[in-house]
């Protein structure tokens, strides 16, 4: 006999409490506890013995289903994996449905059986989008449905599909749960059922998930643990490009990114993001420096912009877009105490042009160059890229994959690179193109000194 149990689940973190409380003890959020009724089935039969095996053995690499959208396939680690589940998260309106419709249509055109279940939009709306994207002829199987019991029944009885897209998991519901669609209980139960089916029938499953305004997928931790890969689709609504970022991947590398551009005709792949991010750069302006960054395994060149404004009275403002405000504060302190750059009486504005968010410490040197250039009112060398981490004593430290960064810089026509001085361990020139002039820096003061005395005296 199935027995109904009542439990209290936090909608923010998924923690289960025995009784209702005002504040979740697990994540500290207020008013997030919701009562849910779950069915507990008694375990059938007795227990079996678990067989242990050695680490060595014959295992095939997982079968990949490549979509042909290179930017998506790279983030997935070579394509969807049969029998696995991928969560694609992102803000509403960022382009998740567009991306998945394009991927699904590409696979269907390649002769794969693809099912697309839309819980948010009616069939006519999806057809309209397909027409606009020029995909109406793709032999895709489309359904508008939200009742998971019906969907599961259909998936279990139909001819096996290669890919099933559920758009979105927050609209799905199981009738034996009393909570509303989108609550942790429903999201968890529906995902569980779909993932079980994917494993049993061998189709690749994509769950689309909306991100709440706090930046988490509803039922966040529960879902992230249940799926094999988590991809976030992000971007600034004001900019046309979108980044697909892998944050978890059991079958591939994380930290890979795919870059797309939202156009009239859907998402276009951007095989060369550096060119896109630098497209609007103007040389010869003080306060700008090009950072040779790395996103996953991929080198990306970005423009760092700094602007200083006099602020003799009051607390100086330090707004930052695309970088860490704490990191900027640290760098300003190092510039002040170790390099004699006086910025205390200035407001400092810092921006990573294009809207990308940089997380690498390797950006320190480029940010410092932009700041020193702004302070001296002298432009940095427009043909030079910068990368390197800065320590608290002002020393410039090595960062990973100098070779890849230098290669990208040369490919985009840069003439020189300012980078950390190599220590005793790493002798010899990095495997950089011969044409590239290398300007190695040991201490940040050496860089600030290039901008002349004005920088130090300001
Ligand atoms: P959508 O894929 O519906 O977003 P999500 O599923 O993440 O909520 O994308 C919606 C936005 O994309 C919408 O504001 C319009 C825009 N868009 C384009 O600019 N070009 C296009 O070809 C398409 C289909 C959408
Ligand atoms: Mg959508």
Q: Which helix (H) or strand (E) holds 274?
A: helix 273-277
Query: Per-residue confidence at 320, pLDDT binned at 50, 70, 90?
Result: very high
Angle at 157 between CA 154 and CA 159, to 5 degrees: 100
Q: SS3 breakdown of the chain: % helix, strand, coil, rounded to 5?
A: 30, 30, 45
Pairing of strands 114-118, 141-144: parallel
State whether the beta carbon of 320 lies less than 6 angstroms from ligand 1: no
Query: Per-residue confidence at 84, pLDDT binned at 50, 70, 90?
Result: very high
Ligand 1, atom 22: closest residue by C-alpha: 266
Whole-number pLDDT of residue 276: 79
Q: How far, in Å, CA of 286 to CA of 307, rounded?
A: 9
Whole-number pLDDT of residue 449: 92
State whether the beta carbon of 97 lies less than 6 angstroms from ligand 1: yes
Q: Per-residue pLDDT tens for 367-406?
A: 999 999 999 999 999 999 999 999 999 999 999 999 989 9
Of the CA atoms within 13 Å of residue 245, those in its CB half-sphere come to 16
* Residue 311 clears pLDDT 70, i.e. is over it: yes
Percent with pLDDT over 70 in the chain? 93
Query: Per-residue confidence at 208, pLDDT binned at 50, 70, 90?
Result: very high
Average model confidence (pLDDT) for the chain?
88
Q: How many Å lie between the centroid of ligand 2 and the Cα of residue 80?
A: 20
- Asked if 145 and 119 count as a contact pair (C-beta separation under 8 A), the reply is yes
Maximal C-alpha separation, the chain: 83
Q: Which helix (H) or strand (E) holds 374?
A: helix 364-376
State whether the beta carbon of 188 lies less than 6 angstroms from ligand 1: no
Whole-number pLDDT of residue 458: 43
Q: How far, in Å, CA of 351 to CA of 329, rounded?
A: 14
The ligand that comes nearest to the alpha carbon of residue 101 is 1
Q: How many Å lie between the centroid of ligand 1 and the Cα of residue 88?
A: 15
State whether the beta carbon of 210 lies less than 6 angstroms from ligand 1: no
The ligand that comes nearest to the alpha carbon of residue 234 is 1
* Residue 153 clears pLDDT 90, i.e. is over it: yes
Q: How far, in Å, CA of 224 to CA of 154, rounded?
A: 26
**Total number of residues shown for the chain:** 458
Tokens 């094999």: give the residue. 228
State whether the beta carbon of 93 lies less than 6 angstroms from ligand 1: yes
Whole-number pLDDT of residue 364: 97
User: What is the rounded (10 degree) CA torsion for 50, 55, 58, 59?
Assistant: 80
Q: How many Å lie between the centroid of ligand 1 and the Cα of residue 65?
A: 25
* Distance from chain centroid for Cα 166: 20
The ligand that comes nearest to the alpha carbon of residue 168 is 2
Q: How far, in Å, CA of 341 to CA of 456, rounded?
A: 5
Q: Per-residue pLDDT tens for 169-194?
A: 999 999 988 888 888 888 989 999 99
State whether the beta carbon of 119 lies less than 6 angstroms from ligand 1: no
Which residue has better confidence, 2 or 146?
A: 146
Pairing of strands 288-295, 298-310: antiparallel
Pairing of strands 114-118, 163-167: parallel
**Of 95, 131, 133, 237, best ligand 1 pocket probe by most atoms within 8 Å of the beta carbon:** 95
Mean pLDDT of 277-290: 86
How far CA 72 is from CA of 36, 63, 257, in Å, comes to 37, 16, 8
């Amino acid at each position: 006999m199935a027995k109904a149990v009542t439990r209290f689940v936090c909608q923010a973190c998924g923690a289960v409490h025995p009784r209702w409380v005002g504040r979740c003890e697990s994540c500290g959020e207020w008013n997030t506890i919701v009562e849910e009724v779950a069915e507990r089935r008694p375990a059938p039969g007795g227990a079996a013995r678990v067989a242990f095996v050695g680490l060595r053995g014959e295992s095939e690499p997982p079968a990949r289903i490549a979509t042909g959208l290179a930017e998506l396939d790279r983030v997935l680690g070579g394509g969807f994996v049969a029998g696995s589940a991928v969560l694609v998260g992102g803000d509403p309106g960022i382009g998740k449905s567009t991306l998945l419709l394009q991927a699904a249509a590409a696979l269907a055109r390649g002769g794969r059986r693809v099912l697309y279940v839309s819980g948010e939009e009616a069939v006519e709306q999806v057809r309209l989008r397909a027409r606009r994207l020029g995909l109406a002829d793709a032999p895709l199987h489309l359904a508008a449905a939200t009742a998971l019991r019906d969907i599961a029944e259909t998936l279990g009885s139909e001819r096996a599909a290669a890919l099933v897209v559920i758009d979105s998991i927050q609209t799905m519901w199981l009738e034996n749960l009393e909570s509303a669609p989108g609550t942790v209980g429903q999201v968890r139960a529906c995902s569980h059922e779909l993932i079980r089916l994917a494993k049993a029938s061998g189709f690749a499953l994509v769950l689309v998930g909306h991100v709440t305004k706090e930046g988490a997928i509803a039922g966040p931790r529960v879902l992230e643990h249940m799926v094999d890969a988590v991809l976030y689709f992000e971007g600034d609504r004001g900019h046309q490009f979108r980044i697909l970022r892998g944050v978890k991947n059991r079958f591939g590398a994380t930290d890979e990114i795919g870059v797309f551009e939202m156009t009239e005709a859907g998402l276009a792949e951007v095989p060369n993001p550096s060119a896109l991010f630098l497209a609007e750069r103007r040389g010869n302006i003080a306060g700008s420096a090009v950072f040779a960054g790395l996103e996953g395994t991929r080198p990306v060149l970005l423009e760092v912009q700094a602007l200083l404004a006099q602020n003799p009275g009051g607390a100086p403002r330090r707004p930052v877009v695309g970088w860490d405000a704490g990191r900027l504060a640290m760098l300003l302190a190092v510039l002040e105490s170790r390099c004699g750059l006086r910025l205390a009486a200035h407001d400092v504005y810092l921006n990573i042009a294009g809207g990308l968010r940089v997380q690498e410490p390797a950006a320190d040197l480029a940010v410092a160059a932009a700041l020193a250039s702004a302070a001296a009112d002298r432009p940095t060398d427009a043909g030079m890229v910068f990368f390197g981490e800065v320590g608290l004593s002002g020393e410039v430290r090595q960062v990973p994959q100098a070779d890849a960064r230098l290669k990208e810089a040369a490919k985009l026509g840069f003439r020189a690179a300012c980078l950390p001085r190599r220590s005793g361990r790493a002798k010899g020139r990095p495997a950089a193109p011969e044409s590239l002039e290398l300007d190695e820096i040991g201490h940040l003061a050496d860089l600030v000194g290039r901008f002349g005395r004005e920088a130090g005296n300001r």
